[in-house]
Structure formats: structure tokens, C-alpha cells
Amino acid sequence: MGLIVQKFGGTSVGSAERILNVAERVKEEKARGNDVVVVVSAMGKTTDHLVSLAKELSAQPDKREMDMLLTTGEQITISLLAMALKNQGTDSVSFTGWQAGIHTEPVHGNARILKIETDSIKKQLSEGKVVIVAGFQGISDSGEITTLGRGGSDTTAVALAAALKADKCDIYTDVTGVYTTDPRYVKDARKLLAVSYDEMLELANLGAGVLHPRAVEFAKNYSVPLEVRSSMERVSGTIIEEEPKMEENLVVRGIAFEDEITRVTIFGLHNYLTGLSTIFTTLAKNQINVDIIIQSTTESNETNLSFSIKTEDLENTLKVLEENRAVLEYDQVEWEMKLAKVSIVGSGMVSNPGVAAEMFKVLADNGIYVKMVSTSEIKVSAVVAETSMLKAVEVLHNAFDLAKEYQAVKR
């Protein structure tokens, strides 16, 4: 007997019919002799509906009250799934995040998990029950309900798998695995047999929506084997592990992309030595995530700084910069919206020089202007106009032969 953690996303539990389908998948795992912990998201577009409802009442809803509101979505799902399982003869119990012992930092809207007290879950498992846990939520030491940010149910599932020392964590979704790029936009996208933790972390951080980045971090840090698989089809998915079976000649493994990127440029930084650290420390304290950073110095020794952010953070970024202008010591701020980021990812880049050059050549040959660049050992990102995003993804997918079927190399 093993312990399996299963996670089902919003699409997978989007209706009563789909919840019954999830119950069948849970029963199948239980019938194999395994203990099962199930983590679920809110049904379908419930979270989006709740956010929309809140914004009808307030342009900037209070973050604490938003957490109180949004966590109700997952509570609906856990109770309905428990009812379905019990009706089918499988004993089960539903837990909210705090009942499951998930403790987070005292941050509303984007909290990190600090620890998980597993006694309550283990007690129920020892009694033969399936334990159903609300994803995306936890509780602070002061007793405040918190949420983990959008996609946080993935994080809940992997964190529980790590805390419970589960044999495996299955992430069920509306696709059959991790693809070379988003198959909704590129018809030749191909399902991958396996991906390394590092590659998946890059893809997740760069816009691939199939897994939440924090979930991949947990999996890597605690060596939790993951499989991304379909909730509707009985087919194998994509294995995410430390050293996956490499696919022959696959230098670039996937392409990620995200729109609604804005470039912010700060002109005339007067404090050259401490200006950078002061700016980014100030932004970080205000929960503003900065991505690509470019610094330049003019002939007159004037320092300018550009960085990219999500467009939704622009208003807050400008507010923070203006409020701290006297301390940050700069002349003016400009910004450019309607940008996108396109990234190629693959551990094979480490031993294959020239991949970045090929990427830029392909983009240039197709008339796509690159505005910002960021690189690491296993990824290259380019900021382009939003209108060029999908074209860039398609031409890069073709250039690196990602539609081609490869055979897995045997170990």
C-alpha cells in the first residue's frame, strides 16, 4: 500500500457530472490499495466570478476580505466531492486548508506555506478514509485565513505530498500532459514524455499555465515525483523528475509565452552605488515582482534602468516609485505596455552553444523586433510586441523541430 496525492483543477470539477468523474478516478486509486489524499480547486470559473462580484462593490477590494471570499470556492468543491464519494460507497472526509493543518505566512492574496501539521490527515487515513483538502488556502499563526495566489492548489497538493512523504503526486488537468508549447495556440504542439524539475520550473515561471511555479519548487526541493495527466482520458501523462529520460537530440524542450507585460524605464538615477538595491528592495517590500532588468549608462554618466513587470502591477509600481522618489533619487519614469515575453527552455542548451543566436536570427528573419532579453543556462527569453507573440512562438516551434516525434533514450 502506498500514498497518492491527487489534485484536480477547476475545469476537472466544473460541474456535477465532472465531480462524479473525479469521484470515479479517486475510487480507482483507492481500489489499487493506496491511501488517497485529494486536493481540489474551485469549480470552473467560480474564482473569476467571485473576483468580478467583489469588484462590482469596490475598485480595490480589501485583501483580507478577498481571502475570506475566495476560499469559499474550494469549500464548495470539497463538500460536493465528499458527498459523491460517500454516495458511491467510498468513505471520505473534507478539510478546509486550516483543518488540514496548512500554516502560511501572514500575507493576504499570495501567502507561502510555512509548515503543515499532518496529524489530522493521518488519523483519517488510518481509518481508511479518502481525505479531500481545499487547495489554494491556509491559515496564519494569528488565525487569519490566507490564500496562496492563483494556481495555488498545485502548491497545496505538492506541499501535502512532501509533508506526508507520499509516493507520488498526480496533477489532473484538462490536458493530457506537458506540451512543447500551448496546444490551444500551436496545432503542432507535442506532449512530452518527461521534463526535469528545472525545465518545468522555468516553463512555469515563464507563463506555461499547466503547473504553478511554487508547486514545482516544492517538488524539486523534496524530490516529490509528479505526473501531469488528463482527468478525462485514461492515458499516461508527463513525468516530472530530477533526471528524466532525455529525448534524443532535443536541445530545446519547450516554448513558454505570456502577454500583458509592461516595460518600465527609470531615467536619471543619481545614486549609482546604492540606487539599484534601493529600488528593487522597495518594490519587493510592496509585493511587486520584477523580471528582466537592463541597466545602461550614458556618456554623461547618467544611469538609466529598465525592467519588466506584469501589466496588472503597473499602477502599484508607479505609485510606489512616486511615493519613494526622494529616497530613490531619479529624474523621471516612462513605461511601454502591450508587450509579451516568449521563452525557449531546455537543459540541452548547456552543452549546445549558439541556441540563443539561432533564436534571435529566427525572430529577425520573421520581422519580430526584440525589446528586452534575459538568459540562464537553460532558457532564453525575449520581450516582443504583444501583436507578435503567437507568430514568434510558431516560428520558434518550427525552427527547433519541436513537433517532431523523438524516441526516449534508454538509461
| Residue labelled with grid coordinates 493530457 | 176
Per-residue confidence band for 375, with pLDDT thresholds at 50, 70 and 90 = very high
User: 385 in a domain, yes or no?
Assistant: yes
Query: Helix and strand tally (H, E) in the chain?
Result: 12, 18
CATH code, 346: 3.30.2130.10
User: 221 in a domain, yes or no?
Assistant: no
Cβ burial of 31 (10 Å; 0-12, 13-18, 19+) is exposed
Q: Please count the structural domains in the chain.
A: 2
User: 100 in a domain, yes or no?
Assistant: yes
User: 378 in a domain, yes or no?
Assistant: yes
The CA-CA-CA angle for residues 23, 27, 28, to 5°, reads 120
Which is it for strands 130-134 and 332-345: parallel, antiparallel or unpaired? unpaired
- Please check whether residues 77 and 157 belong to one and the same domain: yes
CA-to-CA distance for 116 and 163, rounded, in angstroms? Answer: 7
Span 180-192, pLDDT tens digits: 999 989 999 999 9
User: 98 in a domain, yes or no?
Assistant: yes
| 54: containing domain | 3-174
From 132, 150, 174, the end of a domain falls on 174
- Please check whether residues 159 and 250 belong to one and the same domain: no
CA-to-CA distance for 188 and 206, rounded, in angstroms? Answer: 20
- Please check whether residues 167 and 259 belong to one and the same domain: no
- Please check whether residues 170 and 316 belong to one and the same domain: no
Span 194-241, pLDDT tens digits: 999 999 999 998 888 888 888 999 999 999 999 999 998 999 999 998
Distance of CA 200 to the CA centre of its chain: 10
Strand order through the sheet with 379-385: 293-297, 303-310, 254-269, 332-345, 379-385, 372-376
CA-to-CA distance for 411 and 188, rounded, in angstroms? Answer: 28
Span 22-60, pLDDT tens digits: 999 999 999 999 999 999 999 999 999 999 999 999 999
From 153, 174, 195, the end of a domain falls on 174
- Please check whether residues 160 and 286 belong to one and the same domain: no
User: 182 in a domain, yes or no?
Assistant: no
Is residue 272's pLDDT more than 90? no
